[in-house]
Structure 1
Amino acid sequence: MSLLQRIAHCHRHNLSRFLPFAVGGRQVGHMRNDLAQELRRFPSVFRVEKGSVSIAEHLDSFDYRTAAIDSVMRELRQEGYIRGWRDELFTVASDYGAEPLFDLERAGVPLFGVKAYGVHLNGYVRRDGEIWLWVGKRAANRPIEPGKLDHLVAGGLPSGVKPFDNLLKEASEEASIPKELARRARPCGALRYRMELDGCLRDDTLFVYDLELPADFVPKNHDGEIADFRLLPLHEVERLLAETDDFKFNVGLVIIDFLIRHAYLTPDRADYSEIALALSRQP
């Protein structure tokens, strides 16, 4: 898998396999067809019509929608339809910063195909003028991509939490980075992708941060999500991205962006413009 192929993998989807999902006349997601059929059993909450799914009109506030949808989700969970329940709510809106429409259990987000957000931290050190990147290996019990390589710190953005506050929390839990050190992280933009994974549609935006760490810093995991850490030179990181499937699917996007911004990849490379432009494409 080349770097270009890794980027393309995160944009692979076919919307004809999904139904538009709307709230108050605004499309906010793309729902799995099988989930839409399940939701026909709940006409007081969902309107399932030919070619679309929407929230019932009488659920006209954030609180009403959240409570009604949560009740349905919990029933589907008991029936075994929804797996990987997190007891963590994500806010659903038409766009980032737009009016919140309802909160949704994280496990249901890809089923509804709504926009979700996360934070990813490139934690790196300098050795003899070269950059080395800290990489984590996901625990074997993770519901998504177990055992794959991941960032030093990464996590989804729960309801009511600001990105930087979430980064500080995840930095402490996942890598034991003290707050005074984690606060030095620099925001470096955002990356968006839309892809099919396990029959669901993921429409995700990742807020990207860089943090240069002391040479003697050694991360330690506290929340059980990371099995171990390793410090790798960028040429080895690139090799793993380009030649193996070792990295979690979306981590590649963030690392390739890092390689460009830190001038590891330069315009002297034949596929540089294709790689740089592919990162900025819209889903």
Structure 2
Amino acid sequence: MANSCCCYHLSHKLRSSISSLRNLPLTSSPFTRRRLKFPVSPSRRTHTLSAANHVHRCGFTWDDVFKLAETQQNDSSDLQGFFEKVKLCNRNSEMQCEFIPFVLEKRIVGYVHNRFADHLRGSEDVFIFPDDTSYGGNFGCYITLHPMIRTIEDRTRAVEDVIKCLGEELIPGIRNELYPVTSSFGMPEFFSLERAAAPYFGIKAYGVHMNGYVERDGQKYLWIGKRSEVKPTYPGMLDHLVAGGMPHGISCGENLVKECEEEAGIPRSISSGATAVGAVSYMDIDGYRFKRDVLFCYDLKLPEGFIPKNEDGEVESFKLVPVTHVANIIRRTQFFKANCNLVIIDFLFRHGYIKPEDLGYLELLQSLRSGDCS
């Protein structure tokens, strides 16, 4: 019997599912993808990271950031530190075999760790486990929603009830913010899922990250934020001027404008000038969490006199930092929130700070899209 608090009471008035989605082709499975091998770019010197690592473990200030950026010897052709940051976003690929495909209307939409799946088996009127190996995996089954739960709204409510019952112990940091569940970007939505639960169901999640930069006397500077110490995720770490996940029911462009206003006080008259410049992707496994993220990248050249101001309390402060120093911080420390590193490395490529003559250039460029960029 299903746990009573997780029981979803089916209605006789449930509408039929969206027929146009039934016969869509299967998505490719990461279980069949070749494991990505990150090349090791030979270092031309021995890195001394003890001071930076000590500061990272104990917390750091802006003074620490600038001191390390300025005092560390800078060899712009040494890409090894960048490779290491890409690896931090693409851990434990060998653990994919521990996950069960999550399938809706013949499309793989996510992956659930087999032990986390045990917590879903009690909600048998919401989640079912058909015996079928056609979607891959090592457990002789896949996970799907009960066939009587057919509409987007009913699916959203049913899964939401289960997540509430699982609680903060299993899914910490519940935000009451919904992410759309799709097989790939721009495809029809199957239902909406609590943001904090997204990696536990291995769904594809999308975000927008913006490099806000200034040109002064022929040199480029990036506005960098330091996250609030009271944020539940990555407190006190360095971050982009503007970044945010893609919630339900909003376009990338409008989401960026919204985040610009909330996170940095950038008015629409300025933020509307941001340029979409591509995307980065990664696949990271951490325990029961399987992150399959795609970040849409934007550049915005800001007026020299503009000073960002956080409006939502999530950023402690901002500093304008020379791009060469930002590159050094990424190479030598773990001060940045991990996925920000990928977007800034992409910026370094596009603005000529990483050159084809640098050993490992093409391998590093390719590694910025290690995940399923679809």
Same fold (TM over 0.5): yes
Deviation at 1:133, TM superposition (A): 0.5
Give me the whole-angstrom Cα distance separating, in 2, the residues matched to 1:52 and 1:252: 34
* Mapping for residues 267-282 of structure 1, pairs under 5 Å: 267-282=356-371
Contact residue 90 and residue 370 of structure 2 kept, 8 A:
no
Contact residue 89 and residue 283 of structure 2 kept, 8 A:
yes
| Range 156-165 or range 271-280, more displaced | 271-280
Partner residue, 2:85: 6
Partner residue, 1:118: 207
Unmatched runs of 5 consecutive residues or more in structure 1: none
Partner residue, 1:32: 113
Give me the whole-angstrom Cα distance separating, in 1, the residues matched to 2:356 and 2:83: 15
Counterpart pick for 1:71 among 153, 161, 165: 161
**Any idea what the Cα deviations from partners look like across 1:180-229, whole Å, max 9, x if unmatched?**
00000000111111112464111111111100001111111111111111
| Range 47-56 or range 82-91, more displaced | 47-56
Superposed CA RMSD in Å reads 1.5
* Mapping for residues 209-224 of structure 1, pairs under 5 Å: 209-224=298-313
Counterpart pick for 2:174 among 85, 89, 94: 85
Contact residue 121 and residue 210 of structure 1 kept, 8 A:
yes
**Any idea what the Cα deviations from partners look like across 1:28-81, whole Å, max 9, x if unmatched?**
11112232111111000001354432111221221221111111112222x732
Counterpart pick for 1:243 among 309, 324, 332: 332
Partner residue, 1:208: 297
Give me the whole-angstrom Cα distance separating, in 1, the residues matched to 2:364 and 2:316: 31
Partner residue, 2:251: 162
Letter paired with 1:69: V
Question: Higher Cα Rg: structure 1 or 2?
Answer: 2
Partner residue, 1:18: 99
Contact residue 292 and residue 371 of structure 2 kept, 8 A:
no
Letter paired with 2:85: R
Contact residue 39 and residue 48 of structure 1 kept, 8 A:
no
Partner residue, 1:254: 343
Letter paired with 1:252: N
Deviation at 1:154, TM superposition (A): 0.2
Contact residue 24 and residue 57 of structure 1 kept, 8 A:
no
Letter paired with 1:55: L
Partner residue, 1:41: 122
Distance change (3 Å), C-alpha of 1:280 and 1:81: closer
Contact residue 282 and residue 368 of structure 2 kept, 8 A:
no
Distance change (3 Å), C-alpha of 1:87 and 1:281: closer
Letter paired with 1:217: F
Moved over 4 A (4+): none
- TM-score for the superposition, normalised by structure 1: 0.95
**Any idea what the Cα deviations from partners look like across 1:123-175, whole Å, max 9, x if unmatched?**
00011111101111111222322211110000001100111111111100100
Percent identity for Structure 1 against Structure 2: 41
